[in-house]
Structure 1
């Protein structure tokens, strides 16, 4: 009993033990929490951005904590400043220039330049033709329309170039009886003050219906192209254009079609009698025309006679070019009459035709009386020695012709002999072309002897003439001396001519 009583639970001890365990557990939890806090504090301290120093306190941008990255919601947003009121007005005028074009004259020069640099090149000509004179604008118009723009061929005027090429395109693409003439009639008043030259490189014929042929009438295409030229087809009438161009000075025309391809027909290249008559009347009435070219148009004797009959005593034409045609002796006689004090011509080009002896004699006769012509080109004809000698005899009397081209004319030694007399007596000639003629060694020697007495000719072409290397070399040396003499004369340096005494000889005498 006593022993069992003695074994009683120690409630106080257990309570103390329990409190001790609880205290230890709380202490452990607090110490763990403290360790985590210290670890977190050390981590924050490591990642914390250092505060700005006293040196950077005056520059807020130095502290990256105060900077924000701005992302614009507007994709067109930029740092550009707001446009000025002037720029806004110019922008409005550019957009509405076609309807508010009259305001151009009221702008200040600097604002006018800003406007003309921005307006579109597609604005109708009826708006810009008489209003805009700025060369920069017309330069943009030309380059926007054509890849090749050689403004030097148009008096270095971009506006003139635009209107001349624009009118050229309208005429070259005009199909008689098919094309509406509204564009042409509207364009002429706009460009009349700017067109000085027209270079028409093709003229389209009217569109005709293909003939209906039965099986028995069928022929091959080769036979049709070789044997049938078809009816004559008249082309564009220049009577609707030339009277509206008061300042035109040059007119070049080709009656033909470019790039005919598989549509080729001989009648596409015909210069009809009616075409000739209408053109002759137009040119005769155009008193400002100085240069007239009609090339590659199959102009024959009858047509050139019609042309010349209307051009007699024309007051202003100084250059006539009828090259690459089929003019014969009858046509050459008409040209000779034109040269015989009935024209103001200073240059005549009739190369690549069918002119023979009779035609050359007619032109030679006119040269004996003509006092204005300075350049004559008759290469690629069939003059022969008789025709060549006739021209040379005329030059013994003529005192104005300075350039002569007789290349490829079936000339030989007799013509060279006559020409050797010409170069001795004639002091007006400066350039002579004799290439592609069989003058031979004897002809070369005679020319050499004549050139030794000449001090004015600076160019003599003897290629493919078989004159011999020795004669050709000697003549080239003489030509070089003549060129140097002419150059010295231009520089007003006195060089004694052949046969005259030198200054030392004059003093000694």
Structure 2
């Protein structure tokens, strides 16, 4: 019997890699050119996925890899803080939503190629449900051309001409391709402009407004729409609100921190009777139309949360709101902080709250309401919360299982 003695005394068969391991390593090395995965047995798929580099092209991985562990590694490599709970608990959804949001934040109209965004659609359309874009950049501002003697504008003003050139990225084609989109949260402005501040960086133009109105109207899956800190005035608010009348899915509208006044607030009041809104936030505007909103609550049966803080609302609004609270059975939270309700307005609100059994939160801080009225309103709300808690614990709120029964049998 012949024996082969290795020249390396430390060599043994134990250190020879298995053929399957060599195949897996080869698949990983060549995955970008030849993405073999679903053809493998499950245990080998797991090994391949655990060693794939997280920077592979999305064109290769997006529609092929569902493994949450792989997408978690992709997210952690790119962003130091990842709140997966904000993205439905899905790491893959988190990756594509934040990746798309980043492209939109950096997009410069007239400079960035639109294909950088639209080419992502076939890869992310099934995973993006929410877009939160806290910065939308305007086009690069070019120096004005020198004017010759006698040049005059035929119509409009220089400001109008400047606004027409300052529109932002049109979201229509993108949103139309996101069949699962439920939340759209936008800010038309530059987040970190530093010492280069110009009002032109925070200009939500009429072109932007009409484009966005058409976009949200056509997005029938949209449940939450927020447009904040974008200098939205009365006319632009009304354009947006008209597009939302009778929207089939919208539940929350946030136009806080804008420039909405009386006419815009009246438009929002009309929306309450032509929508399924549960949450309306108009905080920190220049809203003098609180009476119209309060009057709409007399008949509204959907809204649960209303935020009108910081709008210089006064006693007449409190009077109508008191009447609405006496009959409304859906509102659970109201915020009237930082207004000018006054002592008499506080007393009237107390009368309305005394007849209301569903309101659970009422913020009246810094609204010139007396401490006595605020205390008594707080006591009424506490009683409502206790009653709601007891009702939630009552046996009538528990559904008994129903079993099938044949002829002659009864269900207890």
TM class, shorter-chain normalised?
A: 0.7 to 0.9
Q: Secondary structure at the match of 2:38?
A: helix
Q: Cα deviation per residue 1:261-300 (whole Å; 9 max; x = unaligned)?
A: 2322111001000100000000000000000000000000
Please give the residue correspondences for 1:210-289 in structure 2 after superposition, counting only pairs within 5 Å.
Answer: 210-211=143-144, 231-232=162-163, 233-289=166-222
Q: Is residue 327 of structure 2 the alignment partner of residue 397 of structure 1?
A: yes
**Which of 223, 237, 260 is residue 290 of structure 1 equivalent to?**
223
Which runs of 5 or more residues in structure 1 are unaligned? 1-69, 215-227, 459-478, 495-509
Counterpart in the other structure of 1:424 = 354
Q: Tell me how far apart the structure 2 counterparts of residues 236 and 78 of structure 1 sit (CA, whole Å).
A: 64
Query: Judging changes above 3 Å, is the alpha-carbon distance between structure 1 residues 485 and 285 closer, same or farther for their aligned structure 2 residues?
Result: closer
Query: Judging changes above 3 Å, is the alpha-carbon distance between structure 1 residues 488 and 419 closer, same or farther for their aligned structure 2 residues?
Result: same
| Larger Rg belongs to | 1
Give yes or no for contact 2:325–2:353 (8 Å, CA) kept in 1.
Answer: no
Q: Is residue 337 of structure 2 the alignment partner of residue 407 of structure 1?
A: yes
Q: Is residue 38 of structure 2 the alignment partner of residue 105 of structure 1?
A: yes
Give yes or no for contact 1:197–1:248 (8 Å, CA) kept in 2.
Answer: yes
Deviation at 1:185, TM superposition (A): 2.3
Q: Tell me how far apart the structure 1 counterparts of residues 31 and 361 of structure 2 sit (CA, whole Å).
A: 56
Deviation at 1:384, TM superposition (A): 1.1
Q: Cα deviation per residue 1:391-432 (whole Å; 9 max; x = unaligned)?
A: 222222222111111111112111111112112211121111
Please give the residue correspondences for 1:469-480 in structure 2 after superposition, counting only pairs within 5 Å.
Answer: none
Counterpart in the other structure of 1:169 = 102
**Which of 202, 221, 242 is residue 309 of structure 1 equivalent to?**
242
Q: Secondary structure at the match of 1:376?
A: strand
Deviation at 1:120, TM superposition (A): 1.1
Which runs of 5 or more residues in structure 2 are unaligned? 1-7, 148-158, 397-412
**Which of 17, 29, 32 is residue 83 of structure 1 equivalent to?**
17
**Which of 364, 368, 373 is residue 434 of structure 1 equivalent to?**
364
Counterpart in the other structure of 2:310 = 380
Q: Tell me how far apart the structure 1 counterparts of residues 140 and 386 of structure 2 sit (CA, whole Å).
A: 60
Q: Is residue 86 of structure 2 the alignment partner of residue 153 of structure 1?
A: yes
Q: Tell me how far apart the structure 2 counterparts of residues 386 and 442 of structure 1 sit (CA, whole Å).
A: 20
Q: Is residue 283 of structure 2 the alignment partner of residue 351 of structure 1?
A: yes
Q: Tell me how far apart the structure 1 counterparts of residues 213 and 355 of structure 2 sit (CA, whole Å).
A: 40
Matched residue count: 376
Q: Secondary structure at the match of 1:98?
A: coil
Counterpart in the other structure of 2:404 = none
Q: Tell me how far apart the structure 2 counterparts of residues 483 and 343 of structure 1 sit (CA, whole Å).
A: 28
TM-score, structure 1 normalization: 0.70
| Larger helix share, 1 or 2 | 1
Q: Cα deviation per residue 1:194-222 (whole Å; 9 max; x = unaligned)?
A: 000000110111112123689xxxxxxxx
Q: Is residue 271 of structure 2 the alignment partner of residue 338 of structure 1?
A: yes
**Which of 28, 41, 54 is residue 94 of structure 1 equivalent to?**
28
Deviation at 1:229, TM superposition (A): 11
Deviation at 1:136, TM superposition (A): 0.5
Q: Tell me how far apart the structure 2 counterparts of residues 263 and 440 of structure 1 sit (CA, whole Å).
A: 45
Deviation at 1:483, TM superposition (A): 4.6
Q: Tell me how far apart the structure 2 counterparts of residues 159 and 429 of structure 1 sit (CA, whole Å).
A: 39
Give yes or no for contact 1:172–1:201 (8 Å, CA) kept in 2.
Answer: yes
Query: Judging changes above 3 Å, is the alpha-carbon distance between structure 1 residues 88 and 274 closer, same or farther for their aligned structure 2 residues?
Result: same
Higher relative contact order, structure no. (Cα contacts within 8 Å, ≥ 6 residues apart)? 2
Q: Tell me how far apart the structure 2 counterparts of residues 96 and 85 of structure 1 sit (CA, whole Å).
A: 17
Q: Secondary structure at the match of 2:368?
A: coil
Deviation at 1:363, TM superposition (A): 0.7
Counterpart in the other structure of 2:407 = none
Counterpart in the other structure of 2:405 = none
Q: Tell me how far apart the structure 1 counterparts of residues 350 and 386 of structure 2 sit (CA, whole Å).
A: 22
Q: Secondary structure at the match of 1:275?
A: helix
TM-score, structure 2 normalization: 0.86
Query: Judging changes above 3 Å, is the alpha-carbon distance between structure 1 residues 120 and 85 closer, same or farther for their aligned structure 2 residues?
Result: same
Q: Tell me how far apart the structure 1 counterparts of residues 266 and 94 of structure 2 sit (CA, whole Å).
A: 38
